[in-house]
Chain A
Amino acid sequence: MLKILGTITFIALVILALRAWAKLFKADQSKFLKVSAFIAAIVVLFALAGVEFGDLGDAFSGEKFERVLDMLGTVLISVLACIGLWVVSNKLLGTLRFGWDIFVGIMGALLGALLFGVLRGNRAVFPIFADRDPIELFSGTGALGNLEWPIAGALVFGIGGYAMRRFGRRELRLLAAVVTAVVTGYLLAHYLKPWHRPNNIDWISTVITTIVGAGAGAVVRIRRDDQIPGILMGAGFGFAVGAWMLSPWQGIDSPWVAAMVPPLLVAVGVAWPANPSSRIVGYFENRARATVFLAPAMIFLLISLVIPAIRTGLLSFKDRRSTEWVGVENYNTLFSDPKSFDVSGWTNLFTSNLFILAVVTLLAGVLVGFLNGWRRNGSPGFESTPASTSGMLFAAFLFVSASMAVLRGTFFNNLWWVVTVVSVATVAGLLIAVLADRATIGEKAAKSLIFMPMAISFVGASIVWRLQYQARPPSKNQTGVLNAVWVGLGRLGQSGTARIVVLLVLAVIIAALVARAIPRARQGLPFVGSAITIIVLGYLFFRLADRRIGGYAINAAGEFSPEPVLFLTNQPFNNVFLMIIMIWMQTGFAMVILSAAIKAVPQELIESAKVDGATESQSFYNVTLPQIIPTLGVVVTTMIVQVTKVYDIVKVAGQGGRFGNNVLANEMFEQSFAFGNIGLGWAIPVVLFLTVLPVMIYNIRRMQKAQL
């Protein structure tokens, strides 16, 4: 069956592809050539692979191909079932055209099938033919045995619903309702399994629920002129709750009262009002359409997000087997475990290099702002420039990194991930987008190459970067690119002539930069970029002159030996090296979106800013940036969603988070599956959720505003 469907899909896909191909030939020949070349390249590649690896050549005949057909068949069924249901629902609504009675009949049939199907699914009823027919038609546990109840339900409710709406006279409608209800009640009472029979109705509860239900029914329809249907239906449901839920289920006799009363009340309630006017039908159709369009998405959201999230929230207050309520104990465990939440090292913050660098950058940013204010206004005062703002933002970023490096534990690691990856990838993406916008050569190719990692999986990227980070014993060749470079630098620092040559080259570059920057500074043009480059290169220059660069060690005897960095195990910065993997992947995403946003900024705005004497960076800061803020919001939100999910990288490249580089997703996984502590496994994602919540609320509100 699956195979047949799979084959059909396969043939259909081939035909569709050929048709599209032929159409393209007629429409756009240059595109046709391009597409053909692309397809040909793939075919040739596969052919080559087939020649090289004999097995691929047989791919279209053997067992593999059968699996492919199976897969196609399953996919076809899934897609058809999901989308077909929706189309059918729409078509059902379309039957409103034929009249309200037909529509109610069809909907009644569906409702009946569903209701009786649920009863059967709960094993509440006998097979209909079981105790009558020795052949036991349909009965049993097979698909047909389970179908006889839905079919019966569809028939009773369908015909009943149609009849209830067919007649203009109320008496006839009520007659149809009574007949339908009696048949339903008979089926229920007669075929219920004994242990599902509510014989001893708890009358006190039932009367109360009936009254409550009737009241609720009246309230729901309070705005309508006729409240009898609401009261009747409400009473029916209330009676059902009382008689079926609040009363014991035991008995031999058929429960005639419990089975008859609710259908009667509800059916009379349904049949009572006159047929709706066409205006009301139109109103109803609109609402029903909205439901049909929204229902698939909402059902999925409800089942796979909302209910599980609530469940997780509740169960996080239960113990490790989810049996006893333990209050906030799981959270206590989480925050008292130094592995997940460790603030003991916070005093080291003020002595860390990162912190000092943050302070220096902050001061530099403030200073630049002051200088700018002084130059502009003639008197001391702060006035922000692009350089001062970015300096201060960078200082903030450094400060967060410094804090995260001393505050250890899974929880802070996750926070660190979010802050670092989102900010660095966004800024790098913005930078590349701007550069690509200005560059005269190869903009498209460069963007494709930067974007490419986005198409690779996290697992694949982790493997790519494991190669880069590999560290081998000092005596051996370094196979990791980064360590090869690092150790090479160490060698360079200890070498003779090579070091001198590099020093000379560096000196020339620095001199050239200084020579360029000084006149610019005199003219009052921005020179901060050059200044930063000069500082960085000068630092390298002095380190190299001092022979203190790269990875090396000198033992007591004064002998040199290379010393690789253990990127993935040195705490706490192994976290950062894992984050780089994600930054590598996400930058392309930020770049593409921001690049398009930058291109969408009206050129006239930038031109007029230039006419007013703004420099390139000023016009970017004052004109382009405000225009792309909404887009930045989208980028940041998307990225936060991605980063909170991070797990694969830590698992594959970070060796399962064993070196102080664990993240919450991985911790949750381990607690739930490896350590069997489900309670803690529930609590962790809740913490994760609460951490991200403020940012997400902020972003969602802003997106909402940008939309309206």
Chain B
Amino acid sequence: MAAPAISPRGATGSPTLGQRIYQKLSDVPAWALWILVLVWTIPSLGLFVNSFRGRDAQRNDAFWNIISEQDATFENYRSVLSAGATNDLTDSLITSFAIAVPATIIPIAFAAFAAYAFAWIDFKGREWFFIATIALLAIPLQVALIPLLQLYNGGAAFSVPFTDKTLTMLPFFDLSGSAEAVWLTHTGFAMPFSIFLLHNYISQLPREIFESARIDGADHFTTFWRLVVPLSIPALASFAIFQFLWTWNDYLIANTMLDASSSLPTTVRIANLAGDFDNTDHLLTAAAFIQAFVPLTVFFGLQRYFVRGLLAGSVKG
């Protein structure tokens, strides 16, 4: 972007090779940047390299010794990927998908509906309603975790005040310990933030298109389906990616809602492995890498959308 302050240009106007190299080397920001990048990458690199080292090698010296030892092995990966083995992770990968996919699609859809209503449907008290929704961002999700767990465990009953009567509000659906409990929880908790972000984007769509749609006789449903959704695809897609990473990587909610008898997602499995110090420590590297593989693929494959969605509306211009 910005050229260095001193540009050693020759009389002809085009720098020689030497000058160009000097220019690159004297680029202090680049140096500083790449030093930081190095610092940032070493931890992941260490994990990645160690995942190819055996148990003893991992225990006895640091990861860079792989160069001198030359004893790379797939043994760790084999242990965590072979079906039926005690530390098999493939089942939990499926569970992770079963949680993360609905926990991505459903909140995005619901938040888009709500964002559209807040942005383009006129109704009384819209502003206050919106502020109240956004204010829910302030509630840390821990506040709601245990009540939700109780709800999944026993349904909801409402004892009518001053009487001895109880109304069943929500029947007991036997959700405790299931993937559904986890993604339902994710859906609720994701709501304020996703409404906020999508509202930023949807409210900045040009007003004219809505007016011309109304003149053509389209109702809100048609407008939403035919105009807003196609126009917001970048924001929706990117926020979907963001939400996917969050839910795929979540540990707190899954660990609260699920118990040992349920099929556990990868994060919980790995954390359990990590608690089991001596026996499986060397498998953690491979397990953590496999767990990170899906989000990393999503991330590197769809990087551009990812960034754009987060920026929806927060950056003007």
Q: Which residues of A contact B24 (CB under 8 A)?
A: 440-441
- Residue contact B180 to A78, C-beta cutoff 8 Å: yes
Query: Given A311-B147, A312-B143: A452 and B299 within 8 A (CB)?
Result: yes
Question: Is B1 an interface residue, CB under 8 A from the partner?
Answer: yes
Q: Mark B130-160, 1 if CB is under 8 A from A, else 0.
A: 0101111111111111111001000000001
Contact A71 B97 (CB under 8 A): yes
The reply to whether A455 and B90 form a contact with Cβ atoms under 8 Å apart is no
Chain A hits for B121, CB < 8 A: 286, 289-290, 293
Is A645 at the interface (CB under 8 A from chain B)? Answer: yes
How far does the alpha carbon of A645 sit from the alpha carbon of B193 in the complex, in Å?
A: 14
Give bound CA distance, A304 to B146, whole Å: 10
Chain A contacts of B252 at CB under 8 A? 645, 647-648, 665
Query: Are B219's CB and A631's CB within 8 A?
Result: no
Q: Which of B8-16, B54-62, B205-213 is found at the contact surface with chain A?
A: B54-62
Q: Is the CB of A464 within 8 A of B2?
A: no
> How many Å from the CB of B255 to the closest CB on chain A?
8
Q: How far is the CB of A42 from chain B (nearest CB, A)?
A: 7
Identify which of residues 146-185 in chain B touch chain A, using a CB-to-CB cut-off of 8 Å: 146-148, 151, 160, 162-163, 165, 167-168, 170-171, 179-180, 183-185
Considering the chains assembled together, what is the distance between the CA atoms of A378 and B310 in angstroms? 48
A289 touches which of B188, B193, B220, B315 (Cβ 8 Å):
B220
Q: B147 near A312 (CB under 8 angstroms)?
A: yes
CB atoms of A93 and B221 under 8 A apart: yes
Contact present for B137 and A450 (CB under 8 Å)? no
A residues less than 8 Å from B163 (CB atoms) = 245-246
B residues within 8 A CB of A467? 43, 46-47, 50, 63, 285
Kindly supply a per-residue 1/0 record for chain A positions 255-292, scoring 1 wherever the CB is within 8 Å of any chain B CB and 0 otherwise: 00000000000000000000000000000011101101
Q: Find out whether the CB atom of B29 lies under 8 angstroms from the CB atom of A435.
A: yes
- Establish whether residues B140 and A460, one from each chain, have CB atoms under 8 Å apart when the complex forms: no
Instruction: Tell yes or no: B19 within 8 A of A by CB.
Output: no
Q: How many A-B residue pairs have CB under 8 A?
A: 387
Residues of A within 8 A of B29 (CB): 434-436, 438-439
Please provide the chain B residues from 272 to 299 with a CB less than 8 Å away from any CB of chain A in the complex.
274-275, 284-285, 288, 291-292, 295-299
Bound Cα distance A117, B257 (Å): 28
Q: Are B78 and A52 in contact, with the CB atoms below 8 A?
A: yes
For window 102-127 of chain B, which residues contact chain A by CB distance below 8 Å? Answer: 102, 105-107, 109-111, 113-114, 116-118, 121-123, 126
**Interface of chain A residues 207 through 248 with chain B (CB within 8 A):** 245-246
Whether the pair B143, A688 counts as a contact (CB closer than 8 A) is yes
> How far apart sit A446 and B30, CA to CA, in the bound complex (Å)?
9
Whether A94 and B221, one on each chain, are in contact in the complex, defined by CB atoms closer than 8 angstroms, is yes
**Which residues of the other chain, A, contact B106 by a CB distance below 8 angstroms?**
78-79, 82-83
Q: Select one of B42, B102, B142 contacting A79, CB under 8 A.
A: B102
B315–A600 contact, CB under 8 A?
yes
Q: Are A477's CB and B137's CB within 8 A? A: no
Q: Cβ of A297 and Cβ of B137 under 8 Å apart? A: no
Residues in A with CB closer than 8 Å to B123 are 286-287, 290
A contact set with B: CB distance below 8 Å: 38, 42, 49, 52-53, 55-56, 59, 62-64, 67-68, 71, 74-75, 78-79, 82-83, 86, 90-91, 93-94, 118, 121-122, 245-246, 249, 285-287, 289-290, 292-294, 296-298, 300-301, 303-309, 311-313, 432, 434-443, 446, 448-460, 462-468, 476-481, 484, 584, 587, 589, 592-593, 596-597, 600, 602, 630-631, 634, 637-638, 641, 644-645, 647-648, 651-652, 664-665, 668-669, 672, 678, 681-682, 684-686, 688-689, 692-693, 696-697, 700, 703-704, 707
Chain A residues whose C-beta falls within 8 Å of the C-beta of B111 in the assembled complex: 297
When the two chains form the complex, which single residue of B30, B168, B191 contacts A305, counting CB atoms closer than 8 Å? B191
Asked if B77 CB lies within 8 Å of chain A CBs, one says yes
Partner of A480, one of B62, B122, B129, B288: B62
* B46-A464 in contact (CB<8A): yes
A368 to B51, CA, bound (A): 50
CB distance from A321 to the nearest CB of B (A): 13
- CB of B232 closer than 8 Å to a CB of A: no
Q: Is the interface of B mostly helix, strand, loop or mixed?
A: helix
Contacts beyond the supplied A441-B34, A459-B249: 16 A-B pairs with Cβ under 8 Å: A49-B81, A79-B102, A86-B110, A121-B171, A245-B163, A293-B114, A296-B109, A298-B114, A301-B192, A304-B144, A459-B270, A460-B292, A464-B46, A478-B62, A593-B310, A645-B140
* Candidates A305, A454, A589; contact of B188 at CB < 8 Å: A305
Closest to B199 in A: A707
Q: Is B317 an interface residue (CB 8 A)?
A: yes
* Minimum CB–CB distance for A477 against chain B, Å: 4
Supposing A245-B160, A457-B249, A478-B62 touch, asked if A435 and B94 sit within 8 A by C-beta, the answer is no
Q: Once bound together, how far apart are the Cα atoms of A60 and B133, in whole Å?
A: 44
User: Is B91 located at the chain interface by the 8 A CB criterion?
Assistant: yes
- Please name all residues of chain A whose beta carbon is closer than 8 Å to the beta carbon of B260 when the two chains form the complex: none
Contact present for B315 and A631 (CB under 8 Å): yes
Which of A56, A297, A484 is the one whose CB lies under 8 Å from B110? A297
User: Is B262 on the interface with A (CB-CB < 8 A)?
Assistant: no
Do B33 and A707 touch across chains, with their CB atoms under 8 A apart? no
Q: Are B1 and A305 in contact (CB under 8 A)?
A: no
Instruction: Tell me the minimal C-beta distance from B121 to chain A in angstroms.
Output: 5
6 contacts between A and B (CB under 8 A): A64-B91, A452-B299, A456-B292, A477-B60, A481-B46, A700-B131
A441, B167: Cα distance in complex, Å: 67
Provide the residues of chain A in CB contact with B40, threshold 8 Å: 449-450, 452-453, 584, 587
B113 near A296 with CB under 8 A, answer yes
Chain B residues contacting A442 (CB-CB under 8 Å) are 30, 33-34
| Closest beta carbon of chain B to A143's beta carbon, Å | 13
Which residues of A lie under 8 Å from residue B299 when comparing CB positions?
A: 451-452, 454-455
Q: Is the CB of A457 within 8 A of B315?
A: no
Query: Are B62's CB and A481's CB within 8 A?
Result: yes
Q: Known contacts A67-B91, A457-B291, A467-B46: does B113 contact A294 (CB below 8 Å)?
A: yes
Contact across chains for B245 and A455 when beta carbons are under 8 A apart: yes
Contacts of A600 in B (CB 8 A): 315-317
Residues 193-206 of B, flagged 1 when their CB comes within 8 A of A and 0 if not, give 10110001001000
B271 at the interface (CB under 8 A from A): yes
Is the beta-carbon distance between A468 and B101 smaller than 8 angstroms? no
- Residue in A122, A312, A584 whose CB lies within 8 Å of B144: A312
A704 near B134 with CB under 8 A, answer: yes
Q: Which of the residues B160, B285, B291 comes within 8 Å of A459, measured between beta carbons?
A: B291
Report how far A638 CA is from B163 CA in the complex, Å. 44
With known contacts A64-B94, A82-B109, A672-B146, A55–B131 Cβ distance under 8 A: no
Is the CB–CB distance between B109 and A651 below 8 Å?
no
**A458-B94 contact given A432-B36, A442-B34, CB 8 Å threshold:** no
In the complex, A90→B90 CA distance in Å?
Answer: 40
A245 to B36, alpha carbons, bound, how many Å? 68
The smallest beta-carbon distance between A498 and chain B, in angstroms, is: 19
Q: How far is the CA of A75 from the CA of B266 in the complex (A)?
A: 18
A483 (CB) vs chain B CBs: closest residue: B62
